[in-house]
Amino acid sequence: MSTAALLEVRDLAKHFALRRGLLGRPSGWIKAVDGVSFHVREGETLALVGESGCGKTTTGRAVLRLIEPSSGSVTFDGQELLKLNAGDLQRMRRDIQIVFQDPYSSLNPRMTVGNIVGEALRVHGIARGAELNERVAHILERVGLSPDFRHRYAHEFSGGQRQRVGIARALAMAPRFIVCDEAVSALDVSIQAQVINLLKDLQDEYRLAYLFITHDLNVVRHIAQRVAVMYLGRIVETAGTDELFDNPRHPYTRALLAANPLPDPSSPRPRALRGDVPSPLTPPPGCAFHPRCAEALAHCDRQTPTWIQIARRHGVACHLHQNTSRQGDDEIPDG
C-alpha cells in the first residue's frame, strides 16, 4: 500500500453475538463486517457503497472505535488505533471525526448550537471564554450559518441547517479525517447538492480525507475519487470513480448501477438486482452474492472468491475474473 495513505484498514471484522435464554450464551454470530480492507489518502474521498444492511455504517463506526472491532487493524497516520488506551484515543479524536446520518437525533436538543459546536474545544482544553465564542462563530460562518445562530437550539433549524451544525461540530477540532455516514441521505435533493459542495470546499481548504458512506450512487460520482463496493460484510470491488462507473467488473456492482435512477429512461440497462440481501447470521456458502447473481458459475456456491487486482487501482473478488489478474501493480489490493 502507498506510504501516502492516511488511514489503513486491514482485515477489519465486527461480529455481534446473538444471545438467547437466561444465561445469555451466544447461539450464533452476526458477521456484520467480515474481513474488510481499504485505505484513504490525505485529501481523498473514498466512497463506501452498498445496499442497506451490508455493513457500511458498522465499518465506519468500527474504524473510529465508536464500536469495538472483533479483530483487524486500523492504522491512522502510522499509529494503530485499536491498541490505544482511552486517554490516547481521546487525544486522537482531534484528528478523526464523524458526521452522522440523522441531523435530528444526532444533535442534543438541550444544548444550544454554540455549546454543541464548542463542546469538543472545551473538553480538549483548546479554547474557553471569548476565544471559544470567537472560534465557534467562525466555524458556523464557514459552514454557511450565521454566527448569531449559536444561541439557538437544534429544533429551531431545518434539516439542512442541522446537518451544517453537525459538520461544524466535526470541523471544530480541525480534523484530518472525517467519516460521513450517509451525511446527505436524509436531505432534500437541492439541499444535498449544497451540503456536498460544502464538503468539497472544506476538503480543498483543509486537505480533509473523507470516508463517505452512502447508498446513493449519484452522490458518489460528484464527491469521491475512489469507490469501494460492499456486500454482506465484505468489499467485492474497488476502483477509481470514473473507472467503476464506466467499467464495473463485479455482477453486484453492475446490478447496483443498473438500479440507479437515470435521467434518460430509454438508455439500455443491464439486469438490476433480484431478491433480498441474505442474513449475515447465515450467509450463503462460497460467494455470498451467488443466490442473486445472473452470471454465477458452477463453483460459486462452494468456493469463496479471492481478491484479484485486474488493473492498476481496480480490484475485484469474483470468480469471473480469476484469470485476469494483473502482475506488477504498485498497490496492494484493497479488498
Q: Using one digit for the tens of pLDDT, what is the confidence trace for 102-122?
A: 888 889 999 999 999 999 888
The per-residue pLDDT for range 262-309, each reduced to its tens digit, is: 666 666 655 567 778 888 888 899 999 999 998 999 999 999 999 999
Same domain, 233 and 169: no
The residue with cell 450559518 is 145
Question: Rounded to two decimals, what is the model's pTM?
Answer: 0.89
239 pLDDT more than 80? yes
Residue 113 inside a domain? The answer is yes
Distance CA 105, CA 142 (A): 23
The alpha-carbon radius of gyration of the chain (Å, integer) is: 21
Q: Is 144 exposed, middle or buried (0-12, 13-18, 19+ CB in 10 A)?
A: middle
Looking at 121, 155, 174, the residue that finishes a domain is 174
- Residue 264 is predicted with a pLDDT of 63
Q: What is the mean pLDDT of residues 215-236?
A: 93
Q: Is the pLDDT of residue 327 over 50?
A: no
**Looking at 146, 174, 202, which one is the last position of a domain?**
174
pLDDT band at 1 (very low <50, low <70, confident <90, very high): very low
pLDDT bin (cut points 50, 70, 90) of residue 189 is confident
How far is C-alpha 217 from the geometric centre of its chain's CA atoms?
13
Phi-psi region of 324 (alpha: psi -120 to 50; beta: other; left: phi over 0): alpha
Q: Tally the domains of the chain.
A: 2
pLDDT of residue 328: 39
Task: Say what percent of the chain tops pLDDT 70.
Answer: 91
**Is 54 a member of any domain?**
yes
Quickly tell me which residue has 436538543 as its cell: 109
Work out whether strand 209-214 and strand 234-240 pair parallel, antiparallel, or are unpaired: unpaired
DSSP per-residue codes, 109-159: TTSBHHHHHHHHHHHTTS--HHHHHHHHHHHHHHTT--GGGGGSBGGGS-H
Q: How confident is the model at residue 190 (pLDDT cuts 50, 70, 90)?
A: confident
Same structural domain for residues 168 and 185?
no
| Residue 123: per-residue pLDDT | 87
**What's the mean per-residue pLDDT of the chain?**
88
Give the pLDDT of residue 147.
Answer: 92
CA angle (170 as vertex; 168, 173 as ends), nearest 5: 100
* 51 & 134 share domain: no
Give the Cα separation of 335 and 322 in Å (integer).
Answer: 15
In a domain, 218, yes or no: yes
Distance CA 161, CA 143 (A): 9
Placement of cell 449559536 in the chain? 150
Residue 200 pLDDT greater than 50, yes or no: yes
Same domain, 167 and 188: no
Domain of residue 250: give its range.
5-95+175-321
> Is residue 326 a part of any domain in this protein?
no
Gap between the Cα atoms of 71 and 74, Å rounded:
10
Grid cell, residue 115, equals: 455549546
241 lies in the same domain as 310? yes
Upper half-sphere CA count for residue 284 (Cβ side, 13 Å) = 20
Mean predicted confidence (pLDDT) in 193-208:
92
Structural domain contains residue 333? no
Q: Which residues contact 327 (CB under 8 A, 6 or more apart)?
A: none
Out of 110, 142, 174, pick the residue that ends a domain.
Answer: 174
Q: Does residue 335 lie within any of the structural domains?
A: no
**CA atoms of 322 and 201, how far apart (whole Å):** 41
Which cell numbers in the block locate residue 282? 447465515
Q: Check which CATH number belongs to the domain holding 267 and give it.
A: 3.40.50.300
For residue 79, what is its C-alpha cell?
499509529
How crowded is residue 55: how many other Cβ atoms within 10 Å of its Cβ? Answer: 26
